[in-house]
Amino acid sequence: MIEIKNLKVNVEGKEILKGINLTVNKGEVHAIMGPNGSGKSTLANVLAGREEYEIIDGTILFEGKNLLEMSVEDRAREGVFLAFQYPIEIPGVSNTNLLKNAVNSIRKYRGEEEIDAVDLLALIKEKMSLVEMNKELLSRSVNEGFSGGEKKRNEIFQMAVLEPKLAILDETDSGLDIDALRIVANGVNKFRSSENGIILVTHYQRLLDYIIPDFVHVLNDGKIIKSGDKSLALELEEKGYDWVKDQYAEMASA
Amino acid sequence: MSKITELKNWYLDKFKDFENSLNGESKLPFHQTRIDAIQKFSDLNFPTIKDEEWKFTNISSLLNHNFKPASENVLEFDHSIIEKYLFDEKEYITIVFVNGVFSQKHSNIHSLGEGIVISNLKNAMVEHPEVIEKYLGKFAGYEKNIFTALSTAFAKEGTFIFVKENKIVEKPIQVLFVTSSNEEVFSSPRNLFVFGINSQAKIIESYVGVSDKTSFTNAVTEVILEMGAVVEHVKVQDESERAYHIARTEIDQERSSNYSSYNVNFGGTIVRNDLTTTFNDEYGFCKLNGLYLGKGNQLIDNHTLMNHAMPHCESHEMYKGILTDKSRGVFNGKIFVKRDAQKTNAYQQNKTLLLSEDATINTKPQLEIFADDVKCSHGATVGQLDKNALFYLRTRGLSDQQAKTILIYAFASDVVHSISMRQVRDHLEKLLSEKLLTADLKD
C-alpha cells in the first residue's frame, strides 16, 4: 500500500529523517516507537503533506502513485488520513460542516455524487457510536472547548467517517485516561480491516495492549534501527531504548 | 477658479435647479433649513487627509466628478432586475428608491396597521409636519459636516418611518436604494425613522447598483428610539465597484430603548460610514455589529461613536473586516463616557483578517471616559488565516480555496448570526460566499 524508500527530511534546515525505509501492506498495523525527538511525528506529518518540511531525498509510493507530488488534499482524497497529535481547534466551523465538506470533496475527486443529507447523518450516527461520542459535539465548533480525550476521539471519529486506506495515528494515546484509551482503541480496532493499513506512532507500549500491531519499528535519530513483532514493544517497555541503540551502534561499527 | 470652487458652484447651481423644481414644497417650513444648509455647504471645505477624521480616507477622486442630481435622469428597468435584492415581498414591506428617488412602481407597502406610517419623506413633510419639525435634522447636524449640509440642502426623497406608541410593525421593512443610470448620478437619500414609546420594528436598509457607471450616494439617516422602543437595523451596502458611498447614521436612544445595528459593507470605490449612537436617558442597550469585505482597490472606512451621556447604559460593539487584494480598511471606534454616565458598560472589538500582502487596515479605538464607576473595554486584532487550521482542513480533503473560504466564513459569521430575520441572514451568508468565491485567496 505504501512504500517509503530512503526518506530524508529537513525541518528548518536540520535533518530530522535520515533515510527511512518502511513498507506497509493492506491489512497490516505498524507501530512506530521511539524516544522523544527521534522523528516520529515528522514522519507522520510528512506523509500527510506538511509543507514546511523539506524533502531532501527518497521516494514514497502510495498505491503505486508518487505521494510526494500530491497536494495535501489530494493525499487525503487518495485515502491517507492523519489523526493529529494535537488536533486543531477551529472556531465557527461545526464538526458536521467539516465532515460534509470533507466527505463531498473526497467523493467529488473520485467522481462520485455528493452525499445526501440524510445519508450523511446516518453515516455520522453510525460512526459516532464507535467512539461513544456525544451527539451534541456535532453541532459544536471543531475541537473548540473539547477535552483532550474528546479531541482524540473526534480524530478517530473523523477517520471512521472518511474510511481512509491508510490511517496514520500520531500519538493518539497521549493524554488519554484509561477509559478514553480503551474507547479510542476500540474505534481503531473496528476500523481495522484486511483492506486498510494503519501506522501507529506512539511513545508508550500501553496503546499496543489494545491495538495489537503486526510490526513494531524503533525510530531513533531519524532512522529505523530495529524492527520486530509485538514482542519488541514489550521488550522496549521493560528495558527502555538504550539496548536497541547500543545494538544498532555495534552493528553499524561492525 | 480652483477645481473645488468649480465643483461647489456646480452643486450650488444644481441646488437652484432643485429649488425651482420644488413648486409648492418650497413654502413648507423645512425649506428654510435647506437654504441654511446650502449656505453652510458653500462655507465649509471638503475634508482632506489633514483632517483627523479623514486621515486615511482621501476623497480627492470623488471631487473629480461632476455628479448630476438623480431626479433629472431615471433609467427605467424591469422589476425582475431588482428581485434578487428583495426579500419575500409577502413577508416584508418594501420601499424602493431609484437613484434616491421614490419609486411607487417597485415598492410594495402593505398591511400597515394603525399608527404606522411608511412613506416618502416628501409626503411626510406635508402629512406629518409636526414630526418633521420635531425630529428632522435635529440629530444629524450640518454645521460642521459638509456632506450632511449637502444632504440637508437636497433633502426631499427618502424613507420616513413613524411608529406610534405601543405599535409593533409585524413585518420587517426593507428600504432598497438602487443606483441605475447611464450618467454619473448623485443621490441623497434622507431617512427619518421615529419609533414611539414601546414600539418595535425591524429595518433592512440596502444599497445596490445595477449599472456600472460611477455614482455618488450621500445618505443621511436619523433614527429616534423613544422610551422602551426596540429596533433591529440592518444595513447592507453592495454597490458597484465604482460607487462612492458616504453615509451618516445618527441614533438617539431614550430611556430603556434597545437598538441593534448590523452594518454590512461589501464596498464601492470609497465607502465611508459615520455611525453615532447617543444614550440620552438611562438603561439603554445598544449593539453595533459591523462586517466589511474589501476587494481590488476598495476603501471601506467605518467611524463609529458610542456616546454614553447617561448612566446605566450598555453597549456592545463588534466590527470585523476581511481585506483582500489591495483593499484598505479604516476603523475608528469612539466611546465617550460623560461624567454623569456612571455604571456604564461598554465593550468594543475590531478584528481584521488581512488576506494579502497589499491589503491594509488602520484601526483606532478611542475611549474618552469621564465617569469613574464604569466598565469599558476594547480590543483590536489584525491577523491572517491560521496556517495550522488550513493544513488540518486540507488533510481532511478540502481544497486550499475551500478551506480558506470556510475559515473566513467562520470568522465573519458571528457578526451576522444574531440577526433575527432568517431571510436576511441567509442573504448575507450567500453574498459573503459569492464574494469570497470571486476573491483572490492565493497567498
pLDDT in tens, B264-311: 999 889 999 999 999 999 999 999 999 999 999 999 999 999 999 999
CB A142 within 8 A of CB A98: yes
Give me the pLDDT at residue A48, please: 97
For residue A2, the SS3 value is strand
Give the containing element (helix H, strand E) for A31: strand A29-33
Query: If we measure between CA atoms, which residue out of B209, B161, B216 comes closest to residue B184?
Result: B216
Q: How many CA atoms lie within 13 A of B120 on its CB side?
A: 16
How many separate helices (H) and strands (E) can be counted in chain A? 9, 12
For residue A224, give Cα distances in angstroms to A74, A123, A219: 27, 38, 4
Position A25: which residue type? N
For residue A227, the SS3 value is strand
Question: Per-domain residue ranges for chain B?
Answer: 3-281
CB B306 within 8 A of CB B336: yes
Q: What percent of chain B has pLDDT over 70?
A: 98
How far is Cα B61 from Cα A124, in angstroms, rounded to an integer?
55
Query: If we measure between CA atoms, which residue out of B48, B65, B44 comes closest to residue B57?
Result: B48
Give me the pLDDT at residue A36, please: 87
ipTM: 0.96
Contacts of A103 in chain B (CB under 8 A): 397
Phi, psi (rounded to 5 degrees) for A219: -100, 130
For residue A245, the SS3 value is helix
Average pLDDT of the residues of chain B:
93
pLDDT in tens, B25-57: 888 889 999 999 999 999 999 999 999 999 999
Query: Looking at residues B95-114, what average pLDDT do you find?
Result: 90
Cell of B316: 456592545
Q: Which of A72, A92, A105 sits opposite B414 (nearest CB)?
A: A92
How far is Cα A60 from Cα B156, in angstroms, rounded to an integer?
73
Give me the pLDDT at residue A80, please: 97
Cell of A193: 480491516
For residue A181, the SS3 value is helix
Q: How many CB pairs under 8 A join A and B?
A: 73
**CB atoms closer than 10 angstroms to residue B266:** 24
Query: Looking at residues B115-121, what average pLDDT do you find?
Result: 96
Answer yes or no: is pLDDT of B70 > 80: no
Give me the pLDDT at residue B71, please: 63
Give me the pLDDT at residue B319, please: 97
Nearest residue on chain A to B386, alpha-carbon basis: A90
Predicted confidence band of residue B413 (pLDDT cuts 50, 70, 90): confident
Query: Looking at residues B5-27, what average pLDDT do you find?
Result: 89
Please answer yes or no on whether A98 and B395 come within 8 Å at the CB atom: no
Nearest residue on chain A to B385, alpha-carbon basis: A90
Query: Looking at residues B89-94, what average pLDDT do you find?
Result: 92
Give me the pLDDT at residue B75, please: 65
Mutate to test the interface with B, among A90, A151, A159 (most CBs of B within 10 A): A90
Answer yes or no: is pLDDT of B72 > 90: no
pLDDT in tens, A91-106: 989 999 999 999 999 9
Q: Which of B388, B402, B413 sits opposite A92 (nearest CB)?
A: B413
Give the containing element (helix H, strand E) for A6: strand A2-11
pLDDT in tens, A45-57: 999 999 999 999 9
Give chain B as a 3 state SS string. Answer: CCHHHHHHHHHHHHHHHHHHHCHHHHHCCHHHHHHHHHHHHHHCCCCCCCCHHHCCCCCCCHHHCCCEEHHHCCCCCCHHHHHCCCCCCCCCEEEEEECCEEEEEEEECCCCCCCEEEEEHHHHHHHCHHHHHHHCCCCCCCCCCHHHHHHHHCECECEEEEECCCCECCCCEEEEEEECCCCCEEECCEEEEEECCCCEEEEEEEEEECCCCCEEEEEEEEEEECCCCEEEEEEEEECCCCEEEEEEEEEEECCCCEEEEEEEECCCCEEEEEEEEEECCCCCEEEEEEEEEECCCCEEEEEEEEEECCCCCEEEEEEEEEECCCCEEEEEEEEEECCCCCCCEEEEEEEEEECCCCCEEEEEEEEEECCCCCEEEEEEEEECCCHHHHHHHHCCCCCHHHHHHHHHHHHHHHHHCCCCCHHHHHHHHHHHHHHHHHCCCCC
Give me the pLDDT at residue B127, please: 94
Q: Which of A81, A88, A93 sits opposite B410 (nearest CB)?
A: A93
How far is Cα B62 from Cα B57, in angstroms, rounded to an integer?
11
For residue B414, give Cα distances in angstroms to A146, B112, B275: 20, 32, 21
Give A54-72 as a 3 state SS string. Answer: EEEEEEEEECCEEHHHCCH
Please indicate whether residue B439 or residue A32 has the higher confidence score (pLDDT).
A32
Q: Enumerate residues 6+ apart whose C-beta is below 8 A from A93.
A: A141, A142, B406, B407, B409, B410
Query: Looking at residues B166-194, what average pLDDT do you find?
Result: 93
Predicted confidence band of residue B73 (pLDDT cuts 50, 70, 90): low
Mutate to test the interface with B, among A45, A77, A85, A93 (most CBs of B within 10 A): A93
How far is Cα A223 from Cα B364, in angstroms, rounded to an integer?
53
Please indicate whether residue B315 or residue B213 has the higher confidence score (pLDDT).
B315
Position B278: which residue type? T
How far is Cα B133 from Cα B135, in angstroms, rounded to an integer?
6
**CB atoms closer than 10 angstroms to residue B5:** 10
Give me the pLDDT at residue B35, please: 96
CB B192 within 8 A of CB B113: no
Mutate to test the interface with B, among A101, A107, A112, A155 (most CBs of B within 10 A): A101
pLDDT in tens, A204-223: 888 999 999 999 999 999 99
Query: If we measure between CA atoms, which residue out of B309, B248, B314 comes closest to residue B287?
Result: B314
Give me the pLDDT at residue B1, please: 58
Contacts of A81 in chain B (CB under 8 A): 395
For chain A (254 residues), the mean pLDDT of every run of 10, in chain order, is 96 94 97 92 96 94 96 97 95 92 95 93 92 87 91 94 96 89 93 96 89 95 93 88 89 78
Contacts of B411 in chain A (CB under 8 A): 92
Cell of A134: 456525544
Contacts of B407 in chain A (CB under 8 A): 90, 93
Give me the pLDDT at residue B111, please: 73
Nearest residue on chain A to B414, alpha-carbon basis: A92
